[in-house]
Amino acid sequence: MPLYALTLEYDGGPFVGWQRQENGLSVQQVLEEAAAKLNDGVLPASIAAGRTDAGVHAEGQVAQLTLARDLPPERLREALNFHTRPYPVSVVRAALAPEGWNARFAAVQRGYRYRILNRRARPALDAGRVWHVQHPLDAAAMHAAAQGLLGKHDFSAYRAAACQAKSALRTLDRLEVARLGDEVVITAEARSFLHHQIRNLVGTLVEVGFGRRGVEWPRRVLDSRDRTKAGQTAPAEALTFLFVRYEVEPEWR
Amino acid sequence: MPLYALTLEYDGGPFVGWQRQENGLSVQQVLEEAAAKLNDGVLPASIAAGRTDAGVHAEGQVAQLTLARDLPPERLREALNFHTRPYPVSVVRAALAPEGWNARFAAVQRGYRYRILNRRARPALDAGRVWHVQHPLDAAAMHAAAQGLLGKHDFSAYRAAACQAKSALRTLDRLEVARLGDEVVITAEARSFLHHQIRNLVGTLVEVGFGRRGVEWPRRVLDSRDRTKAGQTAPAEALTFLFVRYEVEPEWR
């Protein structure tokens, strides 16, 4: 039974998130039901590199899928893109996975982008893709504050109450804040993230951007390990899962 | 009666285009009906720098509007953004227009962007914003071909049958084709464009990108002045009106 790797793009708007849930349609369900049509009706179980929340988008989510049939990766990609219609889920690349590969546990780096539209006027073109923040943000101060969070730390202060990870120790490799015209774009990279970690980091950095808190504050919040100290959880719809990297990269088609 | 200048962002998807029409909702109607609420119910007549087609988006359309009331531009912008809800039309900037200014006739430069998604997989995140072209495009060849079209020419071969301009003489200042990952992005700048000019240019350059036609062909089509010779009219939804420049720029707020 061949194991396939898939790179997925999706609009998180209409979904309850990656993971199957009772209360609505998930990306996982759309993918598995499309795959079942190529698998004699049998629903295959898929695993994703990141279980994105409701509303979170993906340009480069990676998932795995075992099928009973041997299909060239190009054909699997095309067939899945036929059967995932009309949902905004697209298989950008497919590969036969290397021996022992796992989409989630073999990942060595994950990247996300968070977009803030920082102007008075509400978004017309990017509604559902940005967090609309009307008060001016000092992106340079946010960036300076972010640099104090890099490295290996206990990120308990920035994890969700519902986070299921055993340890809150994570190594944050990159947290950059840059202004691009009316947008403030935050880029985050780590081997793995805690539940809501990026959205809690963004919600905290924004307090610095407003000038309500100093550049040192997000680090003090980190050191407190107390999640009641951090800023708000920033909205999901402005977050996009960009990429996953593996030690042994599948041969993407 | 003060004359106002407005910079507009809109998603062209739900509209029949900028201009009022019998058969559906236009951006102009949304704007004028919002303005009427600030004008004792009287519908003011607006004029736009570019009458974008159905489906065409704008990041920087400019329109003018005369109101009976004197309002600070900031307040006008905020009030219009309240009353244009829930439509995807947003007033990004507003200004009191300089003496004798006209949104359409005072414009000295207009800029557009056309986005082609050039990969096998259909778009999930950018559906309605890109032209999905599955066959690989040679962007460098398209760019080379585009350079042969710059300057002042009779663009009859690239205008729509319905084009109402008296003369087809236009000066094309910039037509750049660049590959950005899976995207081929075309940027066009001129003082003014003919109806469908950019979409016909893109549809013609794509023939070069496929290798079906040589780099010299779009120029030969131009010289023929025969619009039956050009390629297809590329889809509207991938086109965005980026900016308008004026000799005397309004004092934007």
pLDDT tens figures, A182-241: 999 999 999 999 999 999 999 999 999 999 999 999 999 999 999 899 999 999 999 999
* Known catalytic residue at B53: yes
User: Does any domain span residue B230?
Assistant: yes
Q: Which residues of chain B are within 8 Å of residue A82 when distances are taken between CB atoms?
A: none
Find, in chain B, the residue whose alpha carbon is nearest to that of A81: B121
The residue among B75, B105, B135 that closes a domain is: B105
pLDDT reading at A28 higher than 90: yes
pLDDT, tens only, A33-48: 999 999 999 999 999 9
Amino acid in position A194: L
Write down the pLDDT at residue B214.
Answer: 98
* Residue B114 in marked binding region: no
For the beta carbon of residue B37, count every other beta carbon within 10 angstroms.
13
Residue A163 has pLDDT above 90, yes or no: no
Pair (A118, A226) in one structural domain: yes
Burial of B25 (0-12, 13-18, 19+ CB in 10 A): middle
* Å between A195 CA and nearest CA of chain B: 23
pLDDT at B161: 87
**Contact between chains at B123 and A90 (C-beta distance less than 8 A):** yes
In a domain, A204, yes or no: yes
Residue B68 · residue B76 · CB < 8 Å: no
- Contacts B127 to A, Cβ<8 Å: 11, 88
Q: What is the CATH number of the domain that holds A184?
A: 3.30.70.660
How many CB contacts within 8 angstroms connect chain A with chain B? Answer: 64
Residues A224 and A177 in one domain: yes
pLDDT of A65: 96
Q: Are residues B85 and B171 in the same domain?
A: no
What are the pLDDT digits (tens) for B5-14? 999 999 999 9
A87 and A115 assigned to the same domain: no
B100 and B115 inside one domain: no
Distance (Å) from the C-alpha of residue B83 to the closest C-alpha of chain A? 12
Q: Are residues B67 and B130 in the same domain?
A: no
What pLDDT is stored for residue A240 in this prediction?
Answer: 98
Q: Between chains, do A77 and B120 touch, taking CB under 8 Å as contact?
A: yes
CB contact under 8 A, A125 and B77: no
How many CB atoms are located within 10 Å of the residue A186 CB? 26
Phi and psi angles of residue A244, each rounded to the nearest 5 degrees, phi first: -130, 140
Is residue A4 classed as helix, strand or coil in its secondary structure?
Answer: strand
Report yes or no on B55 lying in a domain.
Answer: yes
Helix (H) or strand (E) segment spanning residue A174: strand A169-180
Residue at which a domain ends, from A60, A76, A105: A105
- The single residue of B40, B53, B126, B182 carrying the catalytic annotation is B53
Residues of A annotated as part of the active site? 53
Q: Are residues B66 and B167 in the same domain?
A: no
| Rg, chain A, Cα only | 19
**Is B11 within a domain?**
yes
Q: Do A91 and B10 touch (CB under 8 A)?
A: no
Q: Which of B105, B124, B143 is the last residue of a domain?
A: B105
Q: Which residues of B touch A77 (CB under 8 A)?
A: 120-121
Residue A162's pLDDT is what? 86
Range of the domain at B21: 3-105
Residues of A in contact with B85 (CB under 8 A): 122
Residues A150 and A63 placed together within one structural domain of the fold: no
Which residues in A11-103 belong to E strands, given as ranges? 46-48, 57-66, 89-96
Amino acid at residue number A176: E
A20 lies in the same domain as A101: yes
Mean pLDDT of chain A: 97
Any domain includes A69: yes
Is the CB of B90 less than 8 angstroms away from the CB of A122? yes
Residues B47 and B81 in one domain: yes
Sort out which chain A residues have CB atoms less than 8 A from B89's CB and list them: 124
pLDDT in tens, B80-103: 999 999 999 999 999 999 988 999
* Helix residue ranges per DSSP H, chain A: 27-36, 73-83, 139-147, 197-209, 217-224
Distance from CA of B139 to the nearest CA of A (A): 20
Q: What is the domain-level CATH number for residue B76?
A: 3.30.70.580
Q: Quote the mean pLDDT of chain B.
A: 97
Q: Establish if A247 belongs to a structural domain.
A: no
Q: What is the pLDDT of residues B208-233, one digit of tens each?
A: 999 999 999 999 999 999 989 999 99
Separation CA B224–CA B111 (nearest Å): 26
User: Are B193 and B238 in the same domain?
Assistant: yes
**CA distance, residue A23 to nearest chain B CA (Å):** 23
Using the beta-carbon criterion (under 8 Å), do A124 and B78 form an inter-chain contact?
no
Q: Which of A89, A90, A121 sits opposite B81 (nearest CB)?
A: A121
pLDDT above 90 for B164: no
Report the alpha-carbon distance of residue B176 to residue B96 in Å, rounded.
34
The tally of domains found in chain A comes to: 2
B156 plus B61 within the same structural domain: no
Lookup result for tokens 């994105």? A52
> Does residue B252 sit within a domain?
no
Task: Please check whether residue B249 lies inside any domain of the structure.
Answer: no
* A127 to B88: CB separation less than 8 angstroms, yes or no: yes
